[in-house]
A = this chain, B = another copy of it.
């Protein structure tokens, strides 16, 4: 797929495993790559630093945008009239900050940004395989949103989702094929406890990541051996 080799692309970028893999996927397919990182309250600032470092090393444009207003849409602040909306920055992680349709806001904002910068390709690392519990990671949502964004702004965005049908092991495989397995393993941050690389090892995100890596490395070893046996 080198159809878009002369075009620009925007990667919705968190500095985690998935979006970093997407960044290198984008570098393979597009002529110029931009990244856009969102902060929305619960983000460790280290995560943003991480994203910036990876983007710099990849030599791509890095842009950070504060979306903490999204944190204020959570159930706590909106259903409880005594809680002010602007400054609900919950400590810890997800319970208070999960926002239905978060990807809706991220991708909508990315689309506005893309439009302003003459970019029509938007890349996101959402995956229906590993996160089927989140409706806004599903393929049908992304496709519908793509149409909605095009109608909203009279544009012709194309949202790319290279990881949509991959599980974590296959995502590691893609990183390996792109020559960045070590970079993704050591320099990305997906751990809920804010520890880079292999992370704390026991949070759900670390487990998912490690299980995928182990599965991929095993299968690589296997196919490696079976190749040498032939």
Residues of A within 8 A of B (CB): 63, 65-67, 69, 72-73, 75, 78-79, 82, 85-86, 99-101, 103-105, 108-109, 111-113, 115-118, 135-136, 138, 140-141, 144-145, 147-149, 151-155
> Are B152 and A103 closer than 8 Å at their CB atoms?
yes
* Contact of A116 (CB < 8 Å), options: B75, B116, B140, B149: B75
* Contact of A118 (CB < 8 Å), options: B63, B82, B136: B82
6 cross-chain pairs, A with B, having the tightest CB-CB distances, nearest first = A101-B152, A141-B151, A135-B154, A100-B153, A148-B148, A144-B148
Residues of B within 8 A of A100 (CB): 112, 115, 152-153, 155
Known: A78-B116, A109-B73. A152 touches B104 (CB 8 A): yes
Residues of B within 8 A of A85 (CB): 65-66, 115-116
> Are B115 and A111 closer than 8 Å at their CB atoms?
no
Overall SS of chain A's interface: helix
Known: A116-B75, A141-B148, A148-B104. A135 touches B109 (CB 8 A): no
Residues of B within 8 A of A117 (CB): 78-79
Q: How far in angstroms is the closest Cβ of chain B from A82? A: 7
Q: How far in angstroms is the closest Cβ of chain B from A72? A: 8
Q: Which residue of B lies closest to A80 (CB)?
A: B117
Q: Which residue of B lies closest to A138 (CB)?
A: B151
Q: Whole-angstrom distance between the alpha carbons of A52 and B192 in the complex?
A: 41
* Contact of A140 (CB < 8 Å), options: B65, B108, B135, B151: B151
Q: Which residue of B lies closest to A79 (CB)?
A: B116
